[in-house]
Chain A
Amino acid sequence: MMRTFRRSLSARVLVSNMVFAAATVLTISALFLWTYSRDLDRQLASRAQALAEFLAGQSQFAMLVGDRAELERIAANAVATEPVVFLELNDAQGANPVIRRGEGGAGVPSIEVTRKVMRPARVGQAEWESVAPAGESQQLGTVRLGFSTATERTARLRFAWLTALIAVASLFLASVTQVLKMRKLLQPLQSLTEFTHRVASGDLSGRAEIVRPDEVGRLTLAFNCMVEKLGATLVSKEAAEAADAAKSRFLATMSHELRTPLNAVIGYSQLLQETCQDHQIEGLTRDLGRIERAGEMLLQIVNQVLDFSKAEANEIMLHPETFNVDSVLREIVETVEPMAARNGNRVTTEIGLDDAAVHTDLTRFRQSLLNLVANACKFTRNGDISVAVRRERSEPTERCEPVDWLVVNVKDTGIGLSPDQQAKLFQAFTQADASTTRQYGGTGLGLAISRKMCRLMGGDISVESELGKGSNFEVRLPARIGTEK
């Protein structure tokens, strides 16, 4: 039931409208009933007061002269009328009260009204005070009247039933009207839903019918436009995906096909160098060395292209393992030492770790870090390069447990980067600018690959730099990606 209610707009709108309608009808009915009851009570009280007043007037003379027989007659006549349940005439001068009850008076609902019977203010033309004994009370007695509310009660009950009946009938009519109206209103939405299902199943050929030029009609029109554009976009996307797949296949194939002969070139150039050394053939070793280095550079480029194309195709698989960061760091520093020395740079390390063990993909970690340190060495002349490693523990949040982070900062005092250069630094095949490529060489893939690797491992790379003053690359990786998973 609740599921149907939650899933049905018409049911929700219907229930909402009916709740509102019921509240309105109930409020109006209650207001009517209250007003009617109040008027009825007022009329009743007014009638009872008027009758009590009349009886007080009738009893005045009898009480004045002590005519009990007259009081008895007044009471008997009064209770003979329908609304009088009982009448009590109390003589203030001590006589027993005259009490009369109407037929079946005990069980009849009634209100009670009491009226004082006062001495007449004037008797003839003379002031009453002139004949009233001094100090005698001006009150002759009281009239206590029980006035039946049975008729009013019946009328009230009848009115309440009538109001309830009208309210229920109104609600029923409103609900029927609402259902019919909702059906009519939602029919275009139903058609649109069916059309949407056809679109979802891949049929973009048809168009939803616009029944009325209202909000739903405009929605249908917009939907039709969207389907048209979606069709066009799908065609473009399919073409782009096909092209991208072709490109990736081309790159992977080419890279693979290039590496085989390149390895052969490098291998044979090394073999030839060894042969020349063995046979003490002078003059060829230097050229063979150039061939080997050129081959290695070319292999490196091919490997980068292959890595990038794998990363683009999400084909890189991580192989986490536990290793010591400091040893990897020393290995990297040793690797880049010659390049640093060539540029007159000094490389220092700063390892602030209590626990150097991390659990991540060693190869990708080393590849990323090596790329950053090599870049620092490449773009720094006669400067300082520092590699600092530390661990950080993030604060726990409502959603996340605290995480141990491995943070590696590679700082240099090199050429630095402008904000524009920083913005496109991690894009593939992009370097700081064209002159950088010309001056320093490289494919422009290194940082893009490094960032992809870090992100694959659950971390990232960021940079802070100032043109001409140096850069600070920060690698932030989870210390245990196994734990993260």
Chain B
Amino acid sequence: MPRLGVTALLMPAVFAAAVLPASRVSVLVVSESGVEAYSEALSGIGAVLPAGTFRLVDVGGTTFEHDFASAMESNESRVVIAVGSRALSEVRAHHPGTPVVSAMVLRGNDAEPGIRHVDLDIPVAAQLIAMKSLWPGHTRAGIIRNPAQSRYPAELLGAIARKEGFSLLVIDCDGPAHLLKAMGAFKGRVDFVLCPPDSDLYNAVTIKPLVLASLEQRVPLVGFSAAFVRAGAAAGIFPDYADMGRQSAEVALRVLRGEDHGAPNESPRKIQVAVNQRVTRLLGVEFRPEPVAAEVYR
């Protein structure tokens, strides 16, 4: 919550860059206003890029087409940072011809030329490590995923888990209609269930029955956002969005300097953990938030 306040304070400064003279602008930031996580990411971008070196264009604004076109025609924007999936698709649609860094996008396409992804996905290994710190001794993990949306096969995920000392039960679920059935399959077989970001499976409609099912089966859910934790997940593991902004800005600077030889996809460097203490009490489990500096919702 305090981070929101900081973001709000930074936002005017960030958007003020949009009116700076085009002569010094070398990075064009395309984002969508009104999304809390994007605002945090923008604050991170603003913290890394020197003042006056970037320009912000709101993809939801009425003058987006004009602003974007004029920014690209001036040939001053040598890198584009697209914040969010909508901004990325708009940038793709305009074929800017300059390198693009995408941030805050799930499952970026590895094979897409000219685009560097700072991925929103937290690797399973990182999640399991966080869980090991949060709830030591509970190594039976489960995951509900839509196979069509998943980047990795189940076997690979299992191998990654085993490497971290966990067993991983992967249940495929191709839609929200089968979500509870999938949840039921975990009863007595796993200690917790990871919920990867998937707006089809996990949304405002499905969360309540899912949380009730987890309470009934005494299987904690591990969500992918703070909002998910507030809505009833026992814990949440999610990226630090401001750091993601910083990370994407650093990638853009590397590209500008011609030093970018890394992988096209980068995972979040810094994650955050949150715990819903009320739900853990209902479940009868006790997490240790201290080692991972988890935010605790009471």
Contacts of A131 in B (CB 8 A): 215-216, 218, 282-284
Interface centre among B215, B276, B277, B283 (most CB of A within 10 A): B215
Cβ contact within 8 Å between A125 and B282:
no
Residues of B near any A CB (own CB < 8 A)? 208, 211-213, 215-218, 227, 230-232, 276-279, 281-284, 297-298
Cβ contact within 8 Å between A66 and B216:
no
Given the known interface contacts A123-B215, A124-B212, A126-B216, the answer about A65 and B284 at a Cβ–Cβ threshold of 8 Å is no
- Segment of A67-75, A101-109, A168-176, A469-477 in the binding face: A67-75
Name the contact of B282 in the complex, choosing from A70, A124, A132 (C-beta under 8 A). Answer: A132
Of all chain B residues, which has the CB nearest A133?
Answer: B281
B273 to chain A, nearest CB (A): 17
Cβ contact within 8 Å between B218 and A65:
no
Cβ contact within 8 Å between B279 and A65:
yes
Q: Does A95 contact B (CB under 8 A)?
A: yes
Cβ contact within 8 Å between A70 and B231:
yes
Contacts of A124 in B (CB 8 A): 212-213, 216-217
B227 to chain A, nearest CB (A): 7
Q: Does A76 contact B (CB under 8 A)?
A: no
A277 to chain B, nearest CB (A): 160
Kindly state the separation between the CA atoms of A93 and B218 in the bound complex, as whole angstroms.
21
Interface centre among A64, A120, A132 (most CB of B within 10 A): A64
A275 to chain B, nearest CB (A): 161
Name the contact of A123 in the complex, choosing from B212, B276, B284 (C-beta under 8 A). Answer: B212
B298 to chain A, nearest CB (A): 7
Kindly state the separation between the CA atoms of A93 and B282 in the bound complex, as whole angstroms.
12
Kindly state the separation between the CA atoms of A343 and B212 in the bound complex, as whole angstroms.
141
Kindly state the separation between the CA atoms of A67 and B230 in the bound complex, as whole angstroms.
5
Residues of A near any B CB (own CB < 8 A)? 61, 64-70, 93-95, 120, 123-126, 131-133
B223 to chain A, nearest CB (A): 11
Kindly state the separation between the CA atoms of A94 and B213 in the bound complex, as whole angstroms.
25
Kindly state the separation between the CA atoms of A67 and B278 in the bound complex, as whole angstroms.
10
Cβ contact within 8 Å between B230 and A66:
yes
Kindly state the separation between the CA atoms of A68 and B278 in the bound complex, as whole angstroms.
12
Cβ contact within 8 Å between A95 and B298:
yes
Contacts of B279 in A (CB 8 A): 65-66
B277 to chain A, nearest CB (A): 8
Cβ contact within 8 Å between A66 and B215:
no
A254 to chain B, nearest CB (A): 135
Kindly state the separation between the CA atoms of A132 and B281 in the bound complex, as whole angstroms.
9
Contacts of B283 in A (CB 8 A): 131
Given A65-B278, A124-B212, A131-B215, output 17 extra A-B contacts at Cβ < 8 Å.
A61-B208, A61-B211, A61-B212, A65-B230, A65-B282, A66-B276, A66-B278, A66-B279, A69-B230, A70-B231, A93-B298, A123-B216, A131-B216, A131-B218, A132-B282, A133-B281, A133-B282
Q: List 25 A-B contacts (CB under 8 A).
A: A61-B211, A61-B232, A64-B278, A65-B231, A65-B232, A65-B276, A66-B277, A66-B278, A66-B279, A66-B297, A66-B298, A69-B227, A69-B231, A95-B298, A120-B212, A123-B216, A124-B212, A124-B213, A125-B216, A131-B216, A131-B282, A131-B283, A133-B281, A133-B282, A133-B284
Kindly state the separation between the CA atoms of A126 and B219 in the bound complex, as whole angstroms.
14
Name the contact of A65 in the complex, choosing from B211, B216, B217 (C-beta under 8 A). Answer: B211
Contacts of A61 in B (CB 8 A): 208, 211-212, 232
Kindly state the separation between the CA atoms of A65 and B279 in the bound complex, as whole angstroms.
6
Cβ contact within 8 Å between A68 and B230:
yes
Interface centre among A68, A120, A124, A131 (most CB of B within 10 A): A124
Contacts of B218 in A (CB 8 A): 131
B197 to chain A, nearest CB (A): 18
Contacts of B211 in A (CB 8 A): 61, 65
Contacts of A125 in B (CB 8 A): 216
Interface centre among A65, A67, A126, A133 (most CB of B within 10 A): A65
Kindly state the separation between the CA atoms of A124 and B298 in the bound complex, as whole angstroms.
24
Kindly state the separation between the CA atoms of A302 and B162 in the bound complex, as whole angstroms.
166
Kindly state the separation between the CA atoms of A133 and B227 in the bound complex, as whole angstroms.
25
Kindly state the separation between the CA atoms of A318 and B232 in the bound complex, as whole angstroms.
125
Contacts of A67 in B (CB 8 A): 230-232
Name the contact of A93 in the complex, choosing from B212, B215, B232, B278 (C-beta under 8 A). Answer: B278
Contacts of A133 in B (CB 8 A): 281-282, 284
Contacts of A66 in B (CB 8 A): 230, 276-279, 297-298
B10 to chain A, nearest CB (A): 22
